[in-house]
Chains A and B, each alone.
Chain A
Amino acid sequence: MLLKEILFLMRKDFLLEMRQKYAFNGMLLYVSSTVFVCYLSFGLRSNVLTVPVWNAVLWIILLFTSVNAIAKSFVQENRGRLLYFYSIVSPQGVILSKILYNSCLMLVLALICFVFYAFVLGNPVQDVPMFLLTILLGAIGFSTSLTMISGIASKAANNGTLMAVLSFPVIVPMLLMLIKMSKNALDGLDRSVSLDELLTILAINMIVVTVSYILFPYLWRS
């Protein structure tokens, strides 16, 4: 029953995206212009871009991209449609489908971002599969925590600022782990070194999804 709801809601989100091409094309342009701005600002002094800086800038771009992409997920639904959903589907279905949909969206965006970034600014990654796994975990992790935050922020008046203020502190633990893990992949260290970080990220994700699953019904009621 819940599974059917989730699939149905995800199909609706994908269809909406296909028809409007609103979030995706906008975010694509956002990613490419940010990367290009980075290229131009570093291009003047090419020796500034060391490996840790390369890594940090990539994750900052990914963080801002996901905040901007996911902030839209509840705002774009108008009041009438939300009321309609409220009467036909369960809140758990809504939050899980949004989390899954945002994960897919972020996965595509993050991969495009990485490819473009590596193409423009050079690719110092030594262990590419591990790096891709980190990006995958990052995309999923960002979307799980940000989906709930965007639900909270969409209820408030000035949700643009609020989204950033509410999400950054919550996402920092995950970001620290991700940066460390991707640094290991960049240096081509042995994969077992990153196991601690990998497990911590998975555990944080699990906590966040569970808490969202329990709390979303209360948020949805208003």
Chain B
Amino acid sequence: MKNWWKILTVLLLVFTVVAGLLSEVPRLAILNETIRNLYFHVPMWFGMILILLVSVVYSIRYLRKPTIKNDIIAHESAKVGILFGVLGIVTGMEWARFTWGEYWSNDPKQNAAAIGLLIYFAYLVLRSSFAEQQQRARISAVYNIFAFAALIPLLFILPRLTDSLHPGNGGNPGFNAYDLDSRLRLVFYPAVLGWTLLGIWIVNIKSRLELLRQRLYEIA
């Protein structure tokens, strides 16, 4: 059973969607039913950070040992990380529309997320501006590591220095407030695992496809 984790992914995601939409949730003022977004919005950010970490690790591996495979995995996982980031922003904005009253309320966390995405869009632009494969791979690997180092203060330090409307900041109920409620955790942890595994699956398929395409070019 080599593909056990793919079956696990499907099972976890089916469980997340069914249980996430149908299970009992705590009744809280303002949040009401939107609390279910915990199963869809929050795992996107977990998935994004983990997949971008994969991208950085492969960039470092590329600098140590320049093989085409390392470069392709770094590139594809950066793209999947962007996809997760965009989905995270969209689900967050939809949620903010019903709880904060506006899609975009100039919140530090929203701004940080937008800037983080800009960094990775710049990474894609940088990649496309080189014609030669080796130079492109090395220089974009350098930028990837540099940008990730600059992203860490943005995502983890700055939002803690300012007040935010976001749950977990400035006296708003955060994840810890739900600690007592094991019903949420029962779905939340499988959701995080499921979405992250889905991201890794996409990266896996896309990099294999890209590798085969490169090999085809070499033969042709």
**Which residues of A are interface residues toward B (Cβ below 8 A)?**
145, 148-149, 152, 155-158, 162, 165-166, 168-170, 172-173, 176-177, 196-197, 200, 203-204, 207-208, 211-212, 215, 218-219, 221-222
Contact = CB atoms under 8 A, between A and B. Distances in A.
Task: Tell me the dominant secondary structure on chain A's binding face.
Answer: helix
Interface residues of B, number: 28
B143 A152 contact: yes
Contacts of A152: 126, 139, 142-143, 146
B50 interface: no
A37 B30 CA distance: 48
26 contacts: A145-B150, A152-B126, A152-B143, A152-B146, A155-B130, A155-B139, A156-B130, A157-B129, A162-B126, A169-B115, A169-B147, A170-B119, A170-B146, A173-B154, A177-B158, A196-B161, A197-B161, A203-B153, A204-B150, A207-B149, A207-B152, A211-B146, A212-B146, A215-B146, A218-B141, A221-B138
B145 interface: yes
A173 B146 CA distance: 14
Given A148-B146, A152-B143, A172-B115, A165 B125 contact: yes
Nearest to B158: A173
Task: Tell me the dominant secondary structure on chain B's binding face.
Answer: helix
A150 to B, nearest CB: 12
Contacts of B126: 152, 156, 162, 165-166
B35 interface: no
Contacts of A215: 63, 142, 145-146
A165 B149 contact: no
Contacts of B142: 152, 215, 218-219
A162 B129 contact: yes
A147 B154 CA distance: 20
Interface of B: 63, 115-116, 118-119, 122, 125-126, 129-131, 135, 138-139, 141-143, 145-147, 149-150, 152-154, 157-158, 161
B86 to A, nearest CB: 15
A2 to B, nearest CB: 21
Given A169-B115, A218-B63, A222-B138, A156 B154 contact: no
A215 B150 CA distance: 14
Contacts of A165: 122, 125-126
Contacts of A172: 115, 154
B212 to A, nearest CB: 28
A104 B152 CA distance: 27
Contact of B139 (A156, A169, A203): A156
Contact of A173 (B129, B138, B153): B153
Contacts of A148: 146
Contacts of B150: 145, 169-170, 173, 204, 207-208
B175 to A, nearest CB: 24
Scoring B63, B138, B146, B153 by chain A CB atoms within 10 A of each residue's CB, the highest score goes to B146
A212 B216 CA distance: 37
B135 A211 contact: no
Nearest to A176: B158
Closest 10 CB pairs of A and B: A169-B119, A169-B118, A156-B129, A170-B150, A211-B149, A173-B154, A165-B122, A215-B142, A166-B122, A172-B115
Given A145-B150, A156-B130, A170-B150, 20 more contacts: A155-B130, A156-B129, A157-B131, A162-B126, A165-B125, A169-B116, A169-B122, A169-B147, A173-B115, A173-B158, A176-B158, A177-B158, A203-B153, A204-B150, A204-B153, A207-B149, A208-B150, A211-B145, A218-B138, A221-B138
Given A148-B146, A207-B153, A200 B122 contact: no
A148 B153 CA distance: 18
A212 B149 CA distance: 10
